[in-house]
Structure 1
Amino acid sequence: MSEDASSYPPIEPTNFDLILLGTGLPESVIAAAASANGKTVLHLDPNPFYGSNYTSLSLQDLSSFLISHSAPPPSPPSAPSDGHDFTLAALAARPLFSHVKISSFAPDVLGEEHSRKFNVDLCGPRVLFCADKSVDLILKSGANQYIEFKGVDASFVYSENGKLTSVPDSRAAIFKDKSLGLTEKNQLMRFFKLVQQHLDGEGGGENESGNSRISEQDLESPFVEFLNKMRLPPKIKSIILYAIAMADCDQDNVEVCEDVLKTKDGIDRLTLYNASVGRFPNALGAFLYPVYGHGELPQAFCRRAAVKGCIHVLRMPVIAILMDKCTGHYKGVRLSSGQDLFSHQLILDPSFIVQLPLTSSPPGLGSIKRKVARGICITKSSLRPETSNFLVVYPPRSLFPEQVTSIRALQIGSDLAVCPLGMFVIYFSTLCHDANQGEKLLNAAMDSLLTLPEPEHPESSTTVHSENSAEEKPTVLWKAMYIQELTMDHFESISSTPMPDGNLNYNNILLATLKLFQKMYPLEEVFPETASPENPEDDNEFSLES
């Protein structure tokens, strides 16, 4: 559609309990939850698609989105200053992406027709743990009616010698793993048994087997110290820390580690991983991925919101915030069409900032110093010929000595409807402080598994043998790299939702989202009527492809 906002008929009604700008996952969850509680909700988005910073797009649309959101936007159209009892605060977009680098090495293969067949995640790599809170929320909300999932086949750790080692995520996997010696298998089994005994004995000092629980002192200590105390070898320790507990920073280097994982949190993450393995019959591993990409998640919640009466309008920019002249409090919004709409509360996705200071509101929380470096590669062959969809974790120092953060790579194939048949999308991400550091980390990870053809020979297929196998490294057809900001602001009656973080799952994002909802509506329950009292988490209702 080519209509601009001025071609839309006026929105009716003009008064709402809640207006949201942006259809990202946090905004969509809040819209659905508020609608489920009988609130009148208007959901606006200046984009022609759902999902905002959580969307999945074709290659052309993704390139356009990244480029357009990586530079300061033009000044918003001036809003007339006339008003009855309110003043206007201009609303502007802010760049959340930077250092965007996009290369196509095979334009003949990835022409416009093929480009439109991709559904590439803007916030990848990302998965859902089968037993995490995201799955529970999808079930409770009823959003599972609008989305399908498929299990991720496997998970690997990249080792310093260039090999991919399977993550032993169950008792059976430990025994089958040929990369582990008998001593290592026994050590890993004893550790998992100790964790399980600790969890079973939560009611007292000793569990039923007479074994003491992990002490409070150990639970509050760094997880890496507890693993050292258990005398686990470096290889096993690395798998537990970075491929199961998903630690971001080098836990052995306290001088550079900004997020030291405590033992109690490490145990919680191990428990989540273990509970995720085999939860669903058609997903034998720990992870799920949505068919058609992660952009389906916000759309599913938007559909749920629409069923409950939420009004959604795309291609509708908001150019100003209406502020009460006397109190300075938020009152409503002005659309680019010139129409004024009013609501009790407003939520903005983090792409937007209020340009004039809100004198009656507390200052914004500002930006987190760290950023997320993200990369996307398209190939015509799998990193592992026998496996289509899998995760690779690069522990700190596995690529080069100065690597202080984990890097994660997720390969997704055409069976998940994200790319044409026979092609693969590989997502990379890592936390970083600046673009140089992020690009160095991503390039090292890409070079370890992939071949970048020479620009003057885009169709070349140079054979480069990896130490991992006798197969040649897949040749990259298309590549994108970009730096994403981590930012979240808050004002008294205007709240900003979180950007996609550097984690694999959505738990932290949804926790912040639900806290925001509960602050707005402290007396309301999130999705109260959709959960069955007898079985609020009916796994059979979760749609999984075979």
Structure 2
Amino acid sequence: MESLSDALWDVVISGTGLQQSLLALALSRSGKKILHIDPNEFYGGTEAALSLQDAESWVARISDGSRGLFRSASITRPEGASGLSPSRAYSLALAPQLIHARSALLSQLVSSRAYRQVEFLAVGSFYIFNQPQESAQESGLARIPSTREEVFSTTAVSAKDKRLLMKFLKFVLDYESSPQLETWQAYADSPLVGFLNREFKMGPELQTYVVTLTLSLDGKISTRDGLAVIRRHLSSMGVYGPGFAAIYPKWGGLSEIAQVSCRAGAVGGAVYMLGTGIETMETAGDEVKLQLTSGDAIRTRMLVRSDDSPSSRTGISRLVAVVGSPFTSLFEAVVEGAPRPAVALIAFPAGSLSTAAGEASEYPVYLSAHSSETGECPFGQSVLYLTTLATANSKELLERALEAFTHVAGGAEAPQILFRLQYEQLAGTDVTSVEGSIVTFPTPSPSLAFNDSVLEPVREAWTKVMGEAAAEAQYMVFEDREGAVDDDDVYE
């Protein structure tokens, strides 16, 4: 068997994040000579899912400054808390993104046959967290109605607002056609809330319901983008079953898709090396010479990597909490015949939280609650993922949101917080770079829902690697491998 150094590789893929892994899937039946490396000891890159022990090691590495996009990471195990299971019983996602049913990612997983290896779960209701008012009204969770049936049945919205909401939902479903198109074009680049106010006479409360469906991290999404996202949400409702518009991959979200894609690459003949990064790089004619941290010196016709350099764009602050409660009421099917959801999303609107010094939250805080059905924690526990834009007080606001949620959803006695992981994720570049034989993927946006724009650089890289053969090949369209249907039906 020839050594790594003896071979001339068609492509070296550095990193096993989602984009690099999807590229490995796309090339898995190309016959290309592929080396796939990752400096981490685990798959997934910024979309990885970590056991408790892996999380401890990851935080230690971030603390020494070796992870460019992450900072201010810490782990807390509250004193007196009991019930934490062994490390491998947990799979904490760094990028817990939901995937809308109309996403092109799902279409590619189906056409490539990779979907057989992934188990998907329903994402349930979206909620708004309501703080108590001066009238001593109880705080609680209000479900956001996003279908005709939910609008009619909800008691959280007045009759007048129900009519406004129905009018808007009908408008969005056909917003790209006349006369709807002419109605919103003048507001295209203005905040969605202004459009809702002027054209639909919505008050602040109803505006919050609508903007929450966009999952906008700053709450200032434009009318053009907001209508597109809400249209995607509404059109995704019922595609894979009644009562839900989005799904979530079991065992750690996008990390599971990355691992499945890498397995396809390995079956196709790619060589995998974890714990191996690039030490030095030199372009020599049509080749790229790489010195790996493993000590190997290799040559490749093309290098595909990701950019881990922070940019000036605003990053996010995250808090991941393992909680000793199943929060059963969050994970109930609300439509007859619907599957039991494994994920629920709760929004704390801007201004609904305050620091100890009385500073109100400038941006929304989102809490994604995951049941044990996700495979991310043991039975009887839940994993809560809290996200907001990074500010000077975002860490404290996430703690406030966690405290408020567990107080409301945990019943008479607030459940124990068994484990906390906190960190900031910086934003990176949003542009693909192609310099000769080196392709650098942009950093995926740390959004709450998967954005199909992530897929475009992958196809561009595939086209460059395939060269002239790309004109005759079908991108991400494969037949089942022999025996795959019988072996893999358990995943459907």
TM-score range, shorter chain: 0.7 to 0.9
Q: Which residue of 1 aligns with 2:335?
A: none
Match of 2:348 in 1: 394
Match runs of 1:160-179 below 5 Å: 160-161=131-132, 162-179=139-156
Question: Which residue of 245, 251, 260 maps to 1:286?
Answer: 245
Q: Give the equivalent residue in structure 2 for 1:369.
A: 313
Once the 2 structures are TM-superposed, how far is the Cα of residue 416 of structure 1 from its aligned partner?
Answer: 1.9
Q: 1:239 aligns to what? A: 209
Asked whether the 8 Å contact 1:66–1:97 carries over to 2, the reply is no
2:253 corresponds to 1:303? no
Asked if 1:64 corresponds to 2:34, the answer is no
Q: Which moved more, 1:383-392 or 1:20-29?
A: 383-392
Tell me, yes or no, if the aligned pair for 1:97 and 1:484 is still in contact at 8 Å: yes
Secondary structure of the 2:312 match is strand
Q: Give the one of 28, 40, 59 matched to 2:33.
A: 40
CA displacement at 1:348 relative to structure 2: 2.4
Does 1:128 find its partner at 2:86?
Answer: no
The CA deviation at 1:522 is: 7.3
Q: Is the 8 A contact 2:5 2:299 kept in 1?
A: no
Give the one of 433, 436, 445 matched to 2:401. Answer: 445
Matched, 1:425 2:421: no
Aligned 8 A contact 2:83 2:324 in 1: no
Deviation at 1:48, TM superposition (A): 2.7
TM-score by length of 2: 0.83
Distance 1:383 1:268, change over 3 A: same
Structural mapping, 1:62-141, within 5 Å: 62-73=55-66, 94-105=67-78, 109=82, 114-124=86-96, 126-141=97-112
Mapped partners of 1:510, 1:368: distance in 2: 23
TM-score normalised per structure 1: 0.76
Distance 1:184 1:394 in 2: 20
Structure 2 match to 1:509? 454
- CA shift in 2, pair 1:470/1:509, >3 Å: same
Question: What is the SS of the residue equivalent to 1:187?
Answer: helix
Q: Does the 8 A contact of 1:154 with 1:390 survive in 2?
A: yes
User: Considering only CA atoms, is the larger Rg found in Structure 1 or Structure 2?
Assistant: 1
Distance in 2 (CA, whole Å) between partners of 1:158 and 1:108 is: 26
Tell me the CA shift for residue 394 of structure 1: 1.8
Letter of the structure 1 residue corresponding to residue 438 of structure 2: I
Q: Does 1:528 align with 2:436?
A: no
State the partner residue of 2:300.
343
Match of 1:537 in 2: none
- Give, as a single letter, the amino acid of the residue that structure 2 aligns with 1:237: Q
Q: Map Cα deviations across residues 51-105 of structure 1 (whole Å, 9 max, x no partner).
A: 12211121111121122133234xxxxxxxxxxxxxxxxxxxx433211121112
The unaligned stretches of length 5 or more in structure 1 are 1-7, 74-93, 252-260, 354-365, 451-464, 534-541
| SS of residue in 1 equivalent to 2:301 | strand
Change (3 A) 1:226 1:527: farther
- SS of equivalent to 1:331: strand
In the alignment, residue 33 of structure 1 is paired with which amino acid? A
Classify 1:437/1:345 alpha carbon distance in 2 versus 1 (closer, same or farther; 3 Å). Answer: farther
Correspondence 1:418-497 to 2 at 5 A = 418-432=376-390, 434=391, 436-450=392-406, 466=408, 471-488=412-429, 490=433, 492=435, 493-497=437-441
Q: Which residue of 1 aligns with 2:224?
A: 264
User: What CA RMSD, in Å, does the superposition of the two structures yield over aligned residues?
Assistant: 3.1
User: What is the distance in 1 between the residues matched to 2:472 and 2:203?
Assistant: 45
Whether the aligned pair in 1 keeps the contact of 2:346 and 2:366 (CA below 8 Å) is: yes
Unmatched tracts of structure 2, length 5 or more:
133-138, 332-341, 480-487
Would you say the 8 A contact 1:321–1:330 is kept in 2?
A: no
Indicate the structure with greater helix content.
2
Q: Distance in 1 between matches of 2:55 and 2:472?
A: 33
Q: 1:14 to 1:51 in 2, by over 3 A?
A: same
Distance in 1 between the 2:124 and 2:491 partners? Answer: 13
Q: CA separation in 2, counterparts of 1:531 and 1:369?
A: 36
Q: CA deviation at 1:399?
A: 1.6
Superposition deviation, residue 40 in structure 1: 2.6
Could you say what secondary structure the match of 1:509 adopts? helix
- Per the alignment, in what secondary structure is the counterpart of residue 379 of structure 2? coil
**1:274 and 1:543 mapped to 2: Cα distance?**
30
Provide the C-alpha distance between the structure 2 equivalents of 1:212 and 1:46, rounded to a whole number of angstroms.
Answer: 48
Question: 1:472 & 1:117 partners in 2: Cα distance?
Answer: 25
Paired amino acid for 1:190: K
Deviation, structure 1 residue 440: 2.7
Kept in 2: contact 1:21–1:347 (CA 8 A): yes
CA distance in 2, matches of 1:517, 1:530: 10
Residue by residue over 1:113-150, the C-alpha shift from the partner in whole angstroms, topping out at 9 and shown as x without a partner, is 622211111223x2111212222222233221211111
User: What's the counterpart of residue 165 of structure 2?
Assistant: 188
Structure 2: distance between partners of 1:515 and 1:530: 13
In 1, the alpha carbon distance for the partners of 2:361 and 2:195 equals: 23
Q: What is the rounded CA distance, in whole Å, between the counterparts of 1:214 and 1:36 in structure 2?
A: 48
Alignment check: 8 A CA contact 2:217 2:364 kept: yes
Compared CA separation, residues 100 and 218, structure 1 to 2 (3 A): closer
Match of 2:44 in 1: 51
Structure 1 residues 149 and 272, CA, compared in 2 at 3 Å: closer, same or farther? same
